[in-house]
Chains A and B, each alone.
Chain A
Amino acid sequence: MSSPGGLSRRQMFLKIAVLFNGIVGVLLGIPIVRYILSPVTRGRRSGYESWISLGSVEQFPSGQTRLATYRNPVAESWDGETADVPCWVRHTDGDQFQVFAINCMHLGCPVRWFPQSRLFMCPCHGGAYYEDGARASGPPERGLFEYTFKILDGKLQIQAGELPTPGPSAGIYEKKPCTKRSPCA
């Protein structure tokens, strides 16, 4: 059956069988990898962010910083309370607001506002920020995240939907110029 130095019939069948299974494996692998990557690819396609209302502007008196919460725009019915995201709203004057993420820019713990000393402080590793979100002291390397905001029909709206993290993804929450797709006002 076998020719000296060459492939025997059975060895060739085995190789074909291995190759065949390799192809099947790749064919099955593609949907599996796409399934695993779905949290990433979904964000790329339509984006996780959208405009969310924090309520009427009157809730945020001028010169004060208050806690606001919103339901994350991308949420499942079984998310429970975890999809209710807090943020700090600072009404500086007139139409001017600053909306800060709750997460410290060191490692994401929730910062607390102290109106007397006009500082945000983090309970984890001691990061502190000034009232305008700039870094004051401690381990954070940058200031608090600021959401893009607009005022529509007397309601304060922010563009949100993703957990702000201190890495390169910080860019998504840098203040963006108003565009046609997402006009500011």
Chain B
Amino acid sequence: MRLMTKVGNWFDQRLQLGAPIRETMEHPIPRDTASWYYVFGSAAMTAFGLQLVTGILLALIYVPTAGEAWNSLQILNHQVSLGWFIRALHGWGSNFMLAIVLIHMVQVFLFGAYKFPRELTWILGIFLLLMTLGMAFTGQVLRFDQDAYWGLGIGASIVSRVPVLGPLLVKLMLGGPIIAGQTLSRFFALHVFVIPGSLMLFVALHVLLVLKLGINEWPMPGRLVRRSDYLEKYHNLTHTDGVPFMPYGVWKDAVFSGVILLCIAACALYFGPFGPSGQPDPRVIQTAPRPDFFFLWLYALLSLLPPALETPVLLIGPVIALIVLLALPFVSGEGEKSWKRRPIAVLTILLVAVALGTFTNLASHAPWSPVMDAGTGSPIASKFLGGRTPLEIQGALVFQSKQCHNCHALGENGGKRGPALDAVAVRLTNDQLVRQVLQGGGNMPAYGKNLNPAETTALVAFLETLHPSGQAAARNASLRLGEQP
């Protein structure tokens, strides 16, 4: 033990870091903040640390070339001892890190921690969020599979919509005219050097600001922030009723970080690594690309926006969101901190959470995507076929062979792009069915050129049988009863 002290002293005499570190660790914090609510920032940093370590471990094997990346992931998954586990840790670590960063941000917002004098801490935090999202997107690209390949195509398509500069930005993003080797190389450089480097710098500044300005005190309803006297009040709070960060606050941080690491490891062990899915071969077009979990809401949004609104929303939306986030501490830098007295703040969080949750949930079953193999893979249930005339059966065959089933559901089967047709005869008369099939409209392609008159007659005859047994089919009210076809 004496030797340890001696060695320690030898280093400290030269580095002279002991005193400042001790001072930092023992700086006074408001008593209420040694709380389980104040652990998310340090947990995000722990998750980032895990990403750095596992990322370096993966870089030992991973080959960042378009021709070999996918193969090297297979080697990692199946041949390198515990390579799958390191990949799983990195993948699950990424999800946990993003989730914790978002929770941290919501908590900071609801606790009013972005108000004076911590505006810059909040702004650095916004950039940290952007970088974390950037890491998630570039990481998804490095898992160079089908989803990554077509995801890059989607990215390029979005970028190409920038007025004037679009084509230039697409080539800058792809590193060439198509998605190929140089695309992967530049995303590798971004994911491994540029963004992590900036992240480390920004994390350091973010933490430095927390130390310099002190942790946000527990918000009390009615205790207002004023620029004139806040610093003095905070000083009093920490120095009359304060406790040293070490050990009062730090043990909870440490426990929570440990729990998070354990959760990541458990998920990695139980669920395993993410992908890779099929090879990044553009010739394999039997694929339905999906983004990773945290970008699913965007996938839903891109499907549901009216086409004319899409480009403006894609290009202007993020700018507005960024401006709102950056302006927040300047617009409401003073006043009430407690969420109990900030109903609009609470409603904003609820609205955003419900919106993102709804979009994510929708994206997980993607009702807007046609079921590409329904024409061959989903037969029509027998209850729609029993007791039908030969013409109607012929119509059912047309329905199946012309891929109507890809977009229209019958019973539980088929696509949800168009309306379900279980009771279509109740809604549309014979004439209306013919018109809809031949001319399309309402987001349905026109089949006029693809169906001959016999096929159309048969198809409509089948569609007219689709009504509940107790409910009559729609009829043309302009015709007399006896003339109904």
Contacts and interface: CB of A to CB of B under 8 A. Distances in A.
Interface of A: 36-37, 39-40, 43, 48, 67, 69, 72, 74-86, 102-103, 106-112, 114, 116-119, 121-126, 128, 130-131, 136-141, 161-163, 165-169, 172
A40 B153 contact: no
Contact of B172 (A37, A102, A130, A172): A37
A72 B180 contact: yes
B175 to A, nearest CB: 5
A81 B178 CA distance: 12
B307 interface: yes
Contact of B417 (A72, A126, A140, A141): A126
Contact of B281 (A75, A81, A121): A81
6 contacts: A36-B172, A40-B172, A75-B180, A82-B67, A163-B170, A168-B167
Interface stretch (B16-24, B49-57, B366-374): B366-374
B279 interface: yes
Given A76-B180, A82-B67, A123-B289, 9 more contacts: A67-B283, A79-B181, A106-B302, A109-B150, A117-B402, A124-B369, A126-B303, A167-B157, A168-B166
B164 interface: yes
Given A67-B285, A108-B150, A126-B303, A79 B160 contact: no
A153 B305 CA distance: 47
Q: Which DSSP category, helix, strand, loop or mixed, fits chain B's interface?
A: loop
A160 B241 CA distance: 72
Interface residues of B, number: 70
A156 B68 CA distance: 32
Contacts, number: 211
B156 A108 contact: yes
Nearest to B451: A117
A39 B182 contact: yes
B180 A79 contact: yes
Interface in B431-455: 440, 443-447, 449-450
Given A67-B285, A139-B303, A81 B443 contact: no
Given A67-B285, A102-B285, A123 B177 contact: no
A132 to B, nearest CB: 10
B161 A166 contact: yes
Interface of B: 65-68, 149-150, 153-154, 156-164, 166-168, 170-172, 174-183, 279-283, 285-289, 299, 302-303, 305, 307-308, 310, 368-370, 372, 375, 401-404, 406-407, 417, 440, 443-447, 449-450
A120 to B, nearest CB: 10
Given A83-B180, A118-B449, A121-B406, A110 B417 contact: no
Given A108-B153, A114-B403, A48 B288 contact: no
Contacts of A163: 153, 156, 170, 174, 177-179
Contacts of B302: 106-107, 125, 139
B370 to A, nearest CB: 5
Nearest to A68: B283
